[in-house]
Structures are given as C-alpha cells and as structure tokens.
Amino acid sequence: MVTIKVPHLIDFVSDIFGHAESSTEEARRVATYLTTANLTGHDSHGVIRVPVYIRWKKMGSIIPNQTAEVVVDTPSLAVVDGKFGYGQTVAPVAVKIGIEKCKKAGLAAVALRNAGHIGRVGDWAEAAAAEGLISVHFVNAAGSLLVAPFGGVEKRLSTAPYCVGVPREGQPPIVLDFATSIVAEGKCLVASRGGKKLPKGALIDADGALSEDPHVLYGPYTPDGPRDHTKGTGAIRAFGEHKGSGLAFMCELLGGALTGTGATAPNRRFANGMLAFYIDPKVVDPAHFFDGEVSRYVDFIRGTKPIAGGEPVLIPGDVERKTRAERTENGIPLPDDTWAAIVNTAREVGVGEASIQRATQ
C-alpha cells in the first residue's frame, strides 16, 4: 500500500492530464474531483480512474477541453450537451444551470447528455446543497454494459447511479449516492488491483453461479494491465434483487433515453447521461418546518438501538465525512497495483520521473 498526501496527489494527477492535452484548468479540475472521491472513501471513482480516462481519451471516447452546449433553455428546464468532454468539465456547467434556474423558479430540471465519466455523483448533490437546494439525480452510462437485470446472467444495464442531496442549515448535507448494482464497476477495478475484495455474490457468471472474482467481469488480465469488462463472460448483479434492477432500468430510461445520451446498448460510445431535479425548500416550506424536522429525524434514526455488538446507526454521508477527515490528515492509501498503473500511465503520456518522485514525498 502507498499513501499519498492530498496536495501531492492532485499535483501529480494534474500533471498527467496536462500531458494528455487538457488545459491547465481542466487538468487541475479533473485531478481535484478524482482525489475528492478518494477522500470520501469512494476509491472506485477516484484516481484509479486515471488509466481508464487516458485510455478513453486515446480512443476518442473523451475529448479534452470541450465546452458544453445548452440546446434547450426554458425558465425551469435545460438540456445540456457535453459533447463527450470530461465529465468534470461539463457536469459542473449543467449543475450550475440547474442551481441558477431553481433559485429563480423554486424548481428546475436539467438533462445532461453525452458527458464523459462524471465521477462521484455526490459531488453534484453537494454543490446543490451548498446553495441550499435539494437535488435528485438519475444517471446512466451508455455503452457500459456491466450489470445483469434480475433473473438474468447477461450484461444489459450500466451501474446506473442514483443520488439525492438534502441541505441542512449549519450542518453538512445529507447525501445518498449509490450504484444500483451491488458494487460499482470501479469497486471491481479496485479489487482487481489488490484493493478491497468484493462482497460475497457481487458477480454472476455465465452459468448463473455467484462469484467475487473480478475475472468473471474482466476475463484474463495482468496485474498492471488494462481491465476490459467486454472480455469477461459474467456480470455484476443488481442490488436488492428486483428492486435495484427496476431502479437501474428507470435510470437508463431517464438518465439515458430521455436526456438523449441513449440507454445502454452494445457498441454504443461511452457517455454519462444525467437527469437532475433541483428543489428550493425555502419556496416549498416558507414556514421553515423542514430544517427542524430533518434535524429531529436525523437524531431519531441515530438514536436507534444497534444490533448486538454493532456500531451506532448511521445516516447517509456519515462514513464519507469520517473518511474525508482521516484521509485529509493522513493521506490517501492506494494499493500497490493501483499506484503502479497510475505511474505507468504517467510515463506513457510523458510525465517526467521527477514528478513521479515528488508525488510520494
């Protein structure tokens, strides 16, 4: 395991994207969002994605330095085309539009299509919450066949994230952010590179047997080589049996089909689609009942008697806040295989050895 200080990791990852044709501003932005995902404990959406992003860029699936285009614009609704730019570049544009419209109208919807990987969706819910707004996000990944629908063994769904953010006065927001599969694909990537193992039965092979072996998803691979989910014969399972599968299906229709990105299909170009709704609680609740009731209910849930020998009952976001504090102080731990893959990618794009050495100081 290698532990990297947060500023050093951001600098190093910025250097990688800067050498891969991104502007200084974009390189820094992508690096910061990826590192923030690691800070919150979402390693599956963190810097482990660097080799994947650079591979997509070389394939033409992601285009550096794109400017998002607003193709539909009404007082309460917008459609934003990301033009296959980095998600960390085009998603903030769509979110800002949603926030601005919601502040004027009390309610807004924004459809983002054709975005590169937008990373941890919780980032966008946190941005809305910082402005005092509730947000709900339905996301899909066109071309990213990873998940078997309930009752099946073949890949038909993306991991189709779903996210809700709720602001609190004087308190961190409550953010629920999860893939509708048992694990995000990035967690399979982490497990394949020597990180945290997959939970029991997270995958299903072509014969219907449950598995935790990433080879089921990726097929054969070397320790520091690429991972390609099209090479494996198995799939990730949807969480919650038919319920998670049904929610994923709706994310495909709303985040994918409705936005214009397209629901997941074989041989479709990778892109994230996101349909997001923004609500101003001050407009819905001028009497300010909401804030007090949220606080009361948070305390009510946390006050639940835990199971014998168990940890205290948590609410969404508690684990992320704890992890962020620990890793901000101590640095971000990365499995050796993960770090080796990032370093190899850095060398491939022309980052010098001095920059690699500085990252681990």
Residue 331 lies in a domain: no
Residue 196 lies in a domain: yes
In this structure, are 4 and 148 located in the same domain?
Answer: no
The domain in which residue 112 lies consists of 66-179+245-283+291-317
In this structure, are 89 and 188 located in the same domain?
Answer: no
Q: How many CA atoms within 13 Å lie on the side-chain side of 291? A: 16
In this structure, are 296 and 205 located in the same domain?
Answer: no
φ/ψ (deg, to 5) at 325:
-65, -45
Specify the pLDDT at position 225: 84
Specify the pLDDT at position 186: 85
Residue 338 lies in a domain: no
In this structure, are 194 and 269 located in the same domain?
Answer: no
Percent of the chain with pLDDT over 70: 100
Give me the residue label for tokens 């990301």: 82
In this structure, are 214 and 82 located in the same domain?
Answer: no
CA 32 to chain centre: 14
Specify the pLDDT at position 138: 98
Query: How many helices (DSSP H) and strands (DSSP E) are in the chain?
Result: 13, 13
- pLDDT tens, residue by residue, 20-79: 999 999 999 999 999 999 999 999 899 999 999 999 999 999 999 999 999 999 999 999
In this structure, are 223 and 157 located in the same domain?
Answer: no
Residue 83 lies in a domain: yes
- 3-class secondary-structure state, position 113: strand
In this structure, are 219 and 361 located in the same domain?
Answer: no
Specify the pLDDT at position 339: 95
In this structure, are 29 and 56 located in the same domain?
Answer: yes
Tell me what the pLDDT averaged over the chain comes to. Answer: 96
Residue 334 lies in a domain: no
What's the CATH number where 313 sits? 3.30.1370.60
- Kindly report the pTM of this predicted structure: 0.93
In this structure, are 90 and 222 located in the same domain?
Answer: no
Amino acid identity, position 107: L
φ/ψ (deg, to 5) at 239:
-80, 155
Residue 140 lies in a domain: yes
Radius of gyration of the chain (CA): 20
Q: Distance between CA 256 and CA 264 in Å, rounded?
A: 7
Residue 324 lies in a domain: no
Give the dihedral of Cα atoms 39, 333, 158, 93; nearest 10 deg: 30
What's the CATH number where 232 sits? 3.30.60.50
What's the structural domain count of the chain? 3
φ/ψ (deg, to 5) at 356:
-65, -45
Give the residue from 216, 237, 258 where a domain finishes.
237
In this structure, are 89 and 156 located in the same domain?
Answer: yes
- What token pair was written down for 206? 């072509």
In this structure, are 303 and 277 located in the same domain?
Answer: yes
Segments of the chain scoring below 70 in pLDDT: none
In this structure, are 219 and 149 located in the same domain?
Answer: no
